[in-house]
Each structure stands twice: as C-alpha cells, then as structure tokens.
C-alpha cells in the first residue's frame, strides 16, 4: 500500500503528520473484556507501533451462502458438486453499498484515502496499516503492551473499543483489539525431535510384517510401528499401487506461517529416500503479505518441512503450492519497533480467496485455543473458510495436541480456565479446527491403529459454534453413551475432530539430517495428501473436486473410514474422552481407507 509507506516515512523522519481530527460522532462500545488469564498489562503501547487494523463489514447474504455450501456438499442433494464461482461467492457476501459508503466516509475523516486501504476480494474486509496513535483515535480506546507470564510473549492490545454509533449496523468486528491469542508456532503442534536409526528400521522391515486390522486387514511393513514413511501411509491406508495423473486440473496447498520455511534441498533428499519418482520435482511458492521462503539450510522449519514433504510426497505428481505468510508475533517492547505483531491468518485468507483457482485441497497445521480468539472474529474467519468450501476447496486443519486441554502443557498440569474473567473450568478446543466448515484431523499411532498417546490428540467440542446438521446423528450418538453428568458444564456443541490419521514418528528430512517428528500437524498434511488423490480419481472420470468434505464423510464416506476404538485424550486433570465405536472426540469418524473411499467418490451415484 503506497499510502502506508508514505506514512511510515514521515514517522521515521520525525515529521509532524496530521492523523485526522477526533470524530464528532457519539461512540458506542462494541466490546469490553477482562484481560485473559496469564496476561499482565505492562506499558502504554508505542505511538508509532504499526497495526494492520482489520475492519469486518456486515456480509449481506451469508445465510444463503451457507445454504449453497450444504447443498453442493451433500452427496444426496441434486446440486452435489455444483460449486460456486469466485464471482458468485463475492456477490453473496459483499457488503451493502450503504455500508461501504458509511465506512468510507468515516475513514475519510482521518485523512485516509483509497491508497491507504486494502480490501478483501468481496470488500467485506477493510485493512488499514496504521500507527497505534491513529487506531486509538478511530476506536476511542487506548492500546497497551501486554505480556504473557508463562510464555513471555508480548502483544499490543486493548480490552475495550468503541465505534461511532451510526456504524453499528455496518461493522461486525474490528481486530486486533481484544484478541489475545497466541497463533502457535511449530513446536506447540509438534512433539520432540529424535534421531532416526535408519539401519535398525531397515533391518526390521526386512524380517517382519503386521496386519492392520479394521475394515481392510492389510499387510503393513512392521517398521511402520516405529517410523512412518510415505510407503507406510500408502500401506496403512490402502493406496498401494495407485498412480495419480499429473493433471493441472488438480492441486494441493500447504500454508506456512511464523517464518517456517520449506527447504527444497531437504525435500529432494526426502524424495530420494521415500519418493524416488519425485526427485527433481518441487512445489510452487507464493508469497503472502511479503512472506519469504528462505533457502538457507539453517532456516529450514520443522513444521514446514514436515507439511510439504508428506503432503506432496503422498500426492505426487499432483501440483503443490506452498504459501509463506509474513507476520510474526510477538515483538519486544524493549526495542523501539515499527513491526506489525498481528496474527497473519487473515492475510492468507484474503489472498487465497482472491485466487481465481485456489488448490482443491489445503492443509493447515497451525491454530489457537478457541477461547483466545474473540467470538465475533472467529465467526468471520470461519465464514471466510466457508467461502472456500462452496468454491470446491477441501479445507483441512490439525485438531491440536495435548488432549482436551489448552495445548500448551502436560495434560496432568493444564489449567483449563475460561477466558471471560469468571475463571470457570472448561475443556479448551482449538480454532480454526472448531469451525464447522473445515475438516479437522486428529492423531493415531501404531498398527492396528489407536489414538496417539505420546502427546494426545486434540478433540472435544466447540464453545462458539453450534453443532452442524451433518453431525447430529454421529455426535448425538456418542453423547448418548456418556454416563449422565460426566464432565457436565465442561463442553458443548460442535464436535472435534472429524477424522484422523497417523500422527507420530514421521521420518522427515530437517536441516540435512533424518529426524522423527510427531503431532496432529503431521496428521493433517498426510490426510490432505489422500484427499488430493481422491480428487485425482474423480477428475479422471470427469467428476468435480470434492470441496467441503464433511457432509460426505458423515454419510456415504463412513464406509471408507477405519473406525478407531482404542485410546483417549486426557487433559485438564481428567481422563478426557475415549475412542469408541463410531464417532468420538478423539479420532472422529476414523482414518481413511483410500481404495474404499475412491470407490465411493467415483460412484455413478455421486452425479457430479
């Protein structure tokens, strides 16, 4: 944005610049919160600290868009597969012209011109990259530096903000204001690294095999009980021998954040060992908001390497895209800074919604504790994910680690306390995995498979989103089996996860060496790789990509999933939930059986 760079230059030169006059409008409080547990107010925020203020305008017809989403994703509906175009989606969610005019007039009061503003593709978000001093005038508030006692992270936030009263019906949300989430870097989703003894695993693989059990009773190399490779996943999930096409009609995407860089040298070495046919192939890189993909071997990210190696390794030769989104909270208040410390997820969502043809399946292994994301903002992000689904994109998230707790500590010592100042005990799900318009993936281990135990699969129930219609039978059935009063008051609503996949002891190449890595951040890209293969199978028989998966998975797709009935996800000082017959909030509906799913999704009964 040219206007931002001009504004920044004025501040750096110490030149006085008018930031607009205080509004003469009466203000209406939009939100006031109690500082979340663990955060302590430090100092007044530096006046020149830069914030990307995201203003969400009211979407006109989201209810209608949701209706379209469920119809085109329901395999029993006559419109199944009739995904909407980018233009059709934008027309549905675009704000009313009155809203656009009212907000633009308000912005002009602060000398903000069109060059100073970025807009989302549907114009339902307005983004202003401005100094704190201007944000305070616009929102009639005061920003402070806040520090988290356990992590040491620092954020620039406020606990209350207001808007001119006449904008109340036009604006749904403004952030960052009250959002104290800590968009988690790799290590919060990944268990410890271990050196892989390749010789031992190779020796084991030559002398032993095991049977998977479950629906398919497949023979699997015994080494897969200690190390997961692409070959292991193909064996466990019944995809051995399937050769996808190199059609440009199909595609798969991986998101990268927080300076997690996907190293191509490591990828090539990984391919030599695990996917020889893919050697000398790579992925398409796209920068979001100035994100880079530093190829210094010492800058390779364990999360990014895991994601691209297994998603693209399973899906090869389906074309892959890796996005790197700039933005790295937290910042240090001890250093004079003009750094934007916002979570970068909204920037990526704006970018991918602006693409005419986004990848058909996208995996994300990052998230937050749901309660740290303000509900109005979480709902708007979730609505953006619905826009992808109705366009034919399968949006897939890891469900988080450390069981039903906050994902930050040992399940035995977690403090699962509500973030509303009441300090009630409650299970804490992950977001965006809790959004009902995405597919969340839990973790399993071993053969036959059980719920992963080294860090525990994230799962439970959303506190923000109502149970979607496709979950009524499966989730309702699970709840009917719980002893009366068990965990009463600790959970409700939309169930997490939807499905699962192997989530531990993945062998990846990282900074020039073989290591073992785990977490549901491994489960999500692996599952997404198989979704890309299913899209390949559909495209090869002239069918459309699957798009939003859940209505299919909870109906016809159940027959293509391996039910996991052993294990649990303890946390918050409890035993959590148990994996059991049917859906459960540990492993969802189960893990994929590719051959059976392929038969289902290419069936002539699925018309499109």
Burial of 59 per CB tally in 10 Å (0-12, 13-18, 19+): buried
What separation in angstroms does the CA of 224 have from each of 40, 211, 230, 233, 514? Answer: 46, 11, 10, 9, 16
Rounded to whole angstroms, the maximal C-alpha distance in the chain is: 80
- Say whether 521 is catalytic: yes
Element (H, E) at 597: helix 594-601
Which tokens belong to 458? 């994230």
Name the active-site residue from 52, 120, 361, 521. 521
Name the active-site residue from 303, 350, 449, 498. 303
Strands (E), 123-208: 125-131, 144-148, 154-157, 160-164, 171-175, 194-195
Q: CA-CA distance, 185 to 191, in Å (whole number)? A: 12
**C-alpha 519: how far from its chain's center?**
14
Give the closest residue to 516 by CA, choosing from 504, 528, 526.
Answer: 504
Strands (E), 132-250: 144-148, 154-157, 160-164, 171-175, 194-195, 209-211, 219-221
Instruction: Supply angle C-alpha 83, 284, 385, rounded to 5.
Output: 35
Which tokens belong to 354? 């602006």
Q: What does residue 136 show for φ and ψ, rounded to 5 degrees?
A: -65, -40
Residue with tokens 């996949």, as numbered in its chain: 501
Which tokens belong to 163? 């808007």
List all residues 6 or more positions away from 233 whose beta carbon is below 8 Å from its beta carbon.
239, 310, 314, 501, 502, 526, 529, 530
- Say whether 162 is catalytic: no
What separation in angstroms does the CA of 22 have from each of 25, 95, 136, 165, 332? Answer: 9, 26, 10, 14, 30
**Please, where are the H alpha helices in 62-123?**
62-73, 86-93, 97-108
Q: CA-CA distance, 586 to 444, in Å (whole number)? A: 9
User: What is the C-alpha R_g of the chain?
Assistant: 24
DSSP label at 248? Answer: T
List all residues 6 or more positions away from 24 whose beta carbon is below 8 Å from its beta carbon.
none
Element (H, E) at 198: helix 198-207
Q: CA-CA distance, 440 to 506, in Å (whole number)? A: 19
Q: CA-CA distance, 409 to 275, in Å (whole number)? A: 35
- Say whether 376 is catalytic: no
Q: CA-CA distance, 32 to 73, in Å (whole number)? A: 38
* Cis ω before 497 (30° cut-off from 0): yes
Contact by Cβ (8 Å): 421, 548: no
Q: CA-CA distance, 162 to 154, in Å (whole number)? A: 23
Name the active-site residue from 124, 221, 307, 343. 307
Burial of 485 per CB tally in 10 Å (0-12, 13-18, 19+): exposed
Catalytic amino acids? 303, 307, 521
């Amino acid at each position: 944005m040219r206007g931002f760079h001009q504004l920044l230059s004025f501040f750096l030169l110490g030149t006085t610049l008018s930031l607009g006059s205080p509004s003469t409008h009466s203000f209406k409080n939009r939100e006031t919160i109690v500082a979340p547990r663990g955060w302590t107010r430090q100092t007044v925020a530096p006046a020149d600290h830069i914030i990307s203020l995201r203003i969400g305008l009211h979407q006109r017809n989201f209810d209608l868009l949701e209706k379209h989403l469920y119809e085109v994703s329901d395999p029993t509906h006559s419109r199944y597969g009739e995904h909407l175009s980018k233009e059709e989606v934008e027309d549905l969610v675009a704000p009313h012209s009155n809203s656009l005019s009212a907000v633009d007039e308000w912005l002009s009061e602060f000398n903000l011109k069109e060059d100073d503003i970025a807009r989302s593709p549907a114009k339902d978000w307005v983004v202003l990259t401005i100094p704190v001093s201007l944000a305070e005038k616009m929102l009639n508030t005061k920003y402070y530096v806040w520090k988290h006692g356990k992590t040491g992270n620092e954020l620039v936030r406020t606990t209350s903000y207001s808007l001119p009263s006449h904008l109340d019906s036009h604006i749904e949300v403004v952030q960052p204001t009250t959002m104290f989430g800590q968009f988690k870097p790799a290590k919060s989703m990944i268990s410890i690294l271990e050196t892989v003894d390749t010789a031992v695993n190779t020796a084991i693989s030559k002398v032993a095999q095991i049977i998977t059990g479950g629906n398919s009773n497949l023979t699997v190399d015994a080494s897969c009980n200690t190390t997961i490779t692409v070959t292991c996943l193909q064996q466990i999930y019944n995809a051995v021998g399937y050769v996808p096409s190199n059609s440009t009609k199909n595609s798969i995407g991986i998101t990268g954040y927080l300076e997690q860089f996907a190293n191509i040298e490591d990828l090539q070495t990984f391919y030599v060992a695990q996917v020889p046919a893919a050697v000398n192939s790579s992925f398409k890189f796209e920068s979001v908001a100035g994100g880079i993909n530093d190829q210094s071997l010492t800058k390779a990210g364990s999360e990014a390497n895991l994601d691209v190696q297994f998603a693209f390794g399973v899906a090869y030769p389906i074309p892959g895209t890796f996005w790197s989104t700039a933005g790295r909270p937290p910042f240090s208040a001890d250093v004079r800074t003009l750094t934007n410390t916002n979570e970068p997820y909204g920037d990526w969502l704006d970018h991918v919604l602006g693409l005419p043809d986004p990848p058909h399946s996208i995996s994300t292994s990052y998230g937050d504790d749901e309660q740290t994301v303000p509900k109005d903002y979480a709902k708007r992000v979730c609505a953006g994910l619905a826009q992808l689904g109705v366009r034919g994109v399968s949006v897939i998230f890891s469900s988080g680690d450390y069981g039903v707790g906050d994902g930050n500590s040992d399940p035995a010592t977690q403090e699962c306390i509500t973030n509303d100042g009441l300090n009630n005990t409650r299970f804490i799900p992950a977001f965006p995995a809790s959004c009902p318009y995405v597919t969340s993936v839990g973790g399993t281990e071993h053969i036959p498979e059980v719920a992963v135990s080294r860090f525990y699969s994230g799962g439970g129930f959303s506190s923000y989103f109502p149970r979607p219609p496709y979950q009524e039978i499966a989730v309702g059935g699970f709840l009917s089996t719980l002893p009366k009063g068990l965990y009463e008051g600790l959970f409700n609503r939309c169930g997490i996860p939807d499905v699962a996949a192997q989530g531990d002891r993945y062998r990846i190449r990282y900074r020039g060496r073989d290591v073992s890595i785990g977490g549901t951040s491994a489960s999500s890209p692996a599952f997404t790789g198989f979704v890309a293969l299913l899209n390949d199978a559909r495209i090869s028989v002239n069918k459309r990509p699957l798009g939003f998966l859940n209505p299919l998975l909870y109906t016809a797709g159940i027959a293509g999933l391996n039910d996991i009935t052993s294990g649990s996800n303890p946390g918050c000082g409890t035993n959590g939930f148990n994996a059991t017959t049917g859906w459960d909030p540990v492993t969802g509906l189960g893990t994929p059986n590719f051959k059976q799913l392929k038969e289902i999704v290419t069936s002539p009964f699925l018309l499109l």
